[in-house]
Amino acid sequence: MQFIASFYVIYAICLICRNLFVRRKLAAPLDSLRTSHLHFVPIGLAVGFILSMENSPAAIVGDIKEGLLGVILVWFGIVTGLRFDFRRLGRRASRDHALEGLQVLGTAALVFFLALLWRPVLRYQMGIAAEPALVALLLATLATTLRMPDRVFHVRSDLSTPGVENAPAGPLITNAAGMTLLTVLYPYCAGGTVLELGPLTLVSIGSFWALIACVGVLLGLLLTLIFSTFQDDVLCAIVATGTVATVGGLCAGKAIPGIVVGFISGVWFINTTTRRRDALEILEKTTGILQPVFFLVLGALLVTQNLTVLRLTAFTLLFLVARSLARGISLAVAARVTRCPLSLTDIIGSALRPLGTLSVALAAQLLLLDSGPNLYALIGAVMIAAAIGQVIPLPKPRDAAG
């Protein structure tokens, strides 16, 4: 009875909070958190805590959590890949692409080498025993990623979505460029992994890369086939989700980076499908459902871990500072190289852009690739960093200030 009553309490609290949200306009920082779905993490924490009280449901849910996480990661990979629509990108000035690409490259390189330098801190202070190069690569990639769709708020203003298509240093391909880096470099940084796939034993970097590419293209082909076969939106969404579940479950089982597989399939799909607009709409709707589920699952996973607040805080602050510096420095250098005039406010604004769902997903991907209780600390820290980033107002650009 207590078990069921606890769920009722959660529902009642959600109902009260929801009614309060409807009646009062939320302050911009809280609205920013709400749109990022991060408010589902505390709900997930509460649910995880209640589930841990009762043995049989906890065991059942525990069995499916990993697979579910794998599927959601593949989905986020696909959604990121959809941003690499070559026709759409061709409309933007190449100088802007170069600026953004160079910023991503610079940020990733700086954070990667910083993470390698801090290897002893990560290993002995944070207790992350995973392959150092892999951890560094994932940290570097997630440092480059941003919340998408990009929503910002300035001091004393509401949350807004800036027009990024034509603005210099506006994030259009940032996440996709970061994921491309991860896709290319993953086999090099994964360490001496030997993967046995039935009669095949994959040992070389090339074969591992070929496997990821093949699975990604296969999933992309299936998605293209599904969207060209079914005209009904709901049917398309359901069959696509089922296909992603099948492939994502296999990736999670064989420790193949599902997020990379999803990214490759997303790029393939968006550049081959004839129903681009419908597909984007359908997949976006499904993403809107999967994001809360993702944060709920992560919350439920985190609550059962023994996390130290000091560790979390230290890593969060360290990561936020390193990321902001790397983003700011690399943008300044990129602006100089591409001869794109940017003010200091633009650079600070870009440096402080918040992390998004993809960033947390990249941290969660490490959980499926490597094992170790302290990886949860990394995920928790990235989530806190994302939450902090989303409540910090950006400085007003000069034209907007006037």
Partner 1 sequence: MRRFLICAIVCAVVWGAQYHFPDAIQPVVYAGLMLVVPMTLANALSGSGIPAHVIPLLLGFLASGSGLRHAGAFIAAAPFAELAQAWVGLYLGACFSYHRIHSKNLGAATLLSLGATFAPAALALFLFLDVSAVQAIRLGLLAAMSGPMFTLMSQPDRREALSFSLLATMLGLSCWFVVDLIVSTPDLYRVIPSLLMWVAGVELIARITHTVRTGQGGQVLFGAIVATLFVCAQAMHISPLFLALVTGAGVSARSGRSGHSLRAMEPLAVPLSHVVLVYFAVSLDLSGLLGFSALHWKILVIYVAAMLLGKTVGGLTAVRYAGLFLRDWSQTLPQGVVVFILLPEVFPSGSDQAIGDGLTASVVLTCGIVIPLLMAPVLYVSDRMDRRRIPNNVGQ
Tell whether residue 57 is a contact of partner 1 (CB under 8 A).
Answer: yes
| Closer residue to partner 1 in complex, CB, 235/333 | 235
Amino acid at 151: R
Q: Given candidates 98, 185, 217, 238, which one binds partner 1 under the rule CB under 8 A?
A: 238
Eight-state DSSP code of residue 374 = T
Report, in Å, the least distance between residue 195 CB and partner 1: 10
- Compute the distance between CA of residue 327 and CA of residue 340 in angstroms, rounded to an integer: 16
Minimum separation from the CB atom of position 295 to partner 1 (A):
11
Q: Position 50: which residue type?
A: I
Please, which residue, 50 or 176, has the CB nearer to partner 1?
50
Residues 279-318: x/- map of binding to partner 1 (CB under 8 A)? ------x--xx--xx-------------------------
Q: Which residue among 90, 163, 192, 198 contacts partner 1 (CB under 8 A)?
A: 198
Pick the binder of partner 1 from 30, 185, 250, 348 (CB under 8 A). Answer: 250
Asked if residue 275 binds partner 1 (CB under 8 A), the reply is: no
Distance of CA 139 to the CA centre of its chain: 11
Q: Is 49 in the site for partner 1 (CB under 8 A)?
A: no
Residue 311 φ then ψ, to 5°: -60, -45
Tokens 């001091």 locate to 155
Q: How far is the CB of 393 from partner 1 (least distance, A)?
A: 26
Which of 164, 252 has the CB closer to partner 1? Answer: 252
C-alpha 263/C-alpha 258 separation (Å) is 8
Q: Which helix (H) or strand (E) holds 185?
A: helix 174-189
Single-letter amino acid code for the residue at 386: A
Nearer to partner 1 by Cβ, of 120 and 198: the residue is 198
18 binds partner 1 (CB under 8 A): yes
Residues 6 or more apart whose Cβ sits within 8 Å of residue 179 = 77, 80, 81, 141, 145, 259, 260, 263, 358
* Buried/exposed code over 118-134 (b: 16+ C-beta within 10 A; e: otherwise): beeebeeebebbbbbbb
Residue 124 DSSP code:
I
246 touching partner 1, by CB under 8 A: yes
H or E segment to which residue 294 belongs: helix 276-303
Residue 248 touching partner 1 (CB under 8 A):
yes
Which one of residues 26, 29, 66, 314 is an interface residue with partner 1 (CB under 8 A)? 66
User: Distance between alpha carbon 231 and the CA centroid of its chain, in Å?
Assistant: 30
Binding residues with partner 1: total (CB under 8 A): 59
Residue 360 beta carbon to partner 1: minimum distance, rounded to whole angstroms: 17
Q: Does residue 204 contact residue 195 with C-beta atoms inside 8 Å?
A: no
What does the block give as tokens for 119? 């290897």
Nearest to 370 by CA among 165, 62, 130: 130
Nearer to partner 1, 67 or 168 (CB): 67
Give the range of 128-136, 217-225, 303-311, 377-385 binding partner 1 by CB under 8 A.
217-225
- Output the six-digit token pair for 132: 């150092």
Contacting residues toward partner 1, per CB under 8 A:
1, 3-5, 7-8, 11-12, 14-15, 18-19, 22, 51, 54, 56-57, 60-61, 63-64, 66-68, 70-71, 196-199, 218, 222, 225-226, 228-230, 234-235, 238-239, 241-250, 252-254, 285, 288-289, 292-293
